[in-house]
Structure 1
Amino acid sequence: MAKILIVEDDEEIGMLEKDYLEISGYEVELVADGIRAKKLLLGGSYDLVILDLMLPGKNGYCICKEIREEIDIPIIMVTAKTESIDKIRGLGLGADDYVAKPFDPAELVARVKSHLSRYARLTNLTHNQDHLQVSHKDCAIVVGNLKIFANNWKVYIGESEIKFPNREFELLKFLAMNPNIVFSKEYLFEKIWGYDYIGDSATVTVHINRIREKIEEDSKNPQIIETVWGAGYRLNL
């Protein structure tokens, strides 16, 4: 049974979310304070978090940024803010999805199921190594001083390990497995997120930017993952 943490200071909304998720078979814990939520997430074994933005103690943006550096679970932001910049900011900090209030609780449950299913597939994915430039000893995809270890989900620049959440890793690995080929945002979205994901291809841009910040010497002038204007993205090898 998947375990979900709801972080919501509006008791009525929080209990509504909790009821719908428990009816759907999930184990659910509800907390209203941002500081306590962070402690629970870093110390617990949750499979997904539903995170409000406006919270006492610590806001949802801060929690998202801080826990994303430590744990890799789906993060769904729930907020009354509907501006595109708020959505982009949340996704840029590591959120997987963004739901605006008011919302249909059944839609929230559908998104939870989609994210849990997708993360389970990513975690248990079997890796096909047939056409990769890999070392058979350590199964590393090498791009300059960047090494991607497909079997144990680790990425190194030189001797330093760089942390990547599941979807960032899958996106980087896919591009590295298929170097010098341009892929559209739409193709990458379908390939990495799948048809069952509720979202759009703008998510790809956010994740590409996060990857660049980790692997490029100058993320504003990327050399590894290049934008081909009007076409998509290409990893240069």
Structure 2
Amino acid sequence: MPHILVVEDEPKISQLLTDYLKQSNHTVNQLFDGEHVTDWVQQHTPDLILLDVMLPVKDGLTICREIRQNSSVPIIMITAKVEEIDRLLGLELGADDYICKPFSPREVVARVKTVLRRVSPPEDERHESTDKTVLKLDESRYIATFHNANIELTAIEFNLLNLLASDPGRVFSRQQLIDNIYQDHRVVSERTVDSHIKKLRKKLCAANADEDVVHSVYSVGYKLVL
């Protein structure tokens, strides 16, 4: 059974998450402040961490950075502060996903399963993924192949797709997309990014009309779901 560490200073919320996770066949441990989280993770190596941002003693953002220095364990951040989202999704932080309070416990369990499946898919899916690659990107020639169909992309569209494909399932904010695609630091509006994404989606859907793989996350940004 997957081993989940819940780090949440509100006992009722922590216990609610624990109960739902256990009902879904997860082993769960709880910590209620940030003081010893990093040491605990090194000693017990959980399969995933649910980590609240606002914690006593040491905050979740600091803990996430510390853990990332020597571990790639999946981390889902829990936050009640919408303004923290861009920081949670920052390339330098290393969180795998985030959940905003208030939340549904069922949604949390679903997100946990999704992240665990992404980092360690079932054995039969691993074999399938090695035999069939849905999306192929040739960076040297700026050629994209989706479901065995070649897609003609502009350099901006290719770079957008390449960045999204570097971490499927992760939400990239519009500002992160701008910063990574326009290396010359030109002033680019978020609407420009939306326009490029719209064209990219149209071309991908033309290759496979039944699959929209570029998903928008309201007020945050975009992610690639394969």
Please confirm whether the aligned pair reaches a TM-score higher than 0.5, indicating the same fold: yes
Residue number among 62, 85, 88 corresponding to 1:87 in the alignment: 85
TM-score, length-scaled by structure 1: 0.59
Q: Distance in 1 between matches of 2:118 and 2:26?
A: 16
CA displacement, residues 74-110 of structure 1 (integer Å, 9 cap, x when unaligned): 1101111112xx1111122111111111101100000
Shift of 1:72: 0.7
- 1:66 aligns with 66
- For residues 1-237 of structure 1, the aligned pairs below 5 Å read 1-83=1-83, 86-92=84-90, 93-121=93-121, 178-181=139-142, 182=155, 183=158, 185=160, 189=164, 192-193=167-168, 197=169, 200-202=171-173, 205=176
**Distance in 2 of aligned mates of 1:73 and 1:203:** 26
Classify the secondary structure of the residue corresponding to 2:66: helix
Q: What is the root-mean-square deviation in Å for CA atoms of aligned residues?
A: 3.6
| Runs of 4+ with >2 A deviation | 121-128, 177-180, 182-192, 199-206, 219-222, 229-232
Contact 1:54 1:60 in 2 (8 A): yes
Q: 1:122 to 1:231 in 2, by over 3 A?
A: farther
Instruction: Quote the sequence identity (%).
Output: 38
Tell me the distance in 1 between the aligned counterparts of 2:21 and 2:174: 25
**Mapped contact 1:48–1:74 kept (Cα < 8 A):** yes
1:79–1:101 Cα contact (<8 Å) kept: yes
- What amino acid sits opposite 1:90 in the alignment? L
Q: Which runs of 5+ in 1 are unaligned?
A: 129-173, 213-218, 223-228, 233-237
Letter in 2 for 1:185: L
Q: Is the 8 A contact 2:89 2:171 kept in 1?
A: no
Cα separation, 1, equivalents of 2:166 and 2:183: 25
> Secondary structure of 1:78's match?
strand
When residues 91 and 191 of structure 1 are mapped into structure 2, their CA distance, relative to the original with a 3 A threshold, is closer
For residue 4 of structure 1, give the secondary structure of its aligned residue in structure 2: strand
Aligned with 1:109: secondary structure?
Answer: helix
1-structure distance, mates of 2:184, 2:54: 34
Asked whether the 8 Å contact 1:188–1:204 carries over to 2, the reply is no
* C-alpha spacing 1:72/1:203, structure 2 compared with 1 (3 Å): farther
For 2:151, the equivalent position in structure 1 comes to none
The change in CA–CA distance for 1:35 and 1:179 in structure 2 (over 3 A counts) is farther
Q: Could you say if the C-alpha distance between residues 231 and 180 of structure 1 is closer, same or farther in structure 2, counting changes exceeding 3 Å?
A: farther
Q: Please give the alpha-carbon distance, in whole angstroms, between the structure 2 residues aligned to 1:191 and 1:62.
A: 25
Partner of 1:226: none
Per the TM alignment, residue 121 of structure 1 is displaced from its structure 2 partner at its CA by 3.3
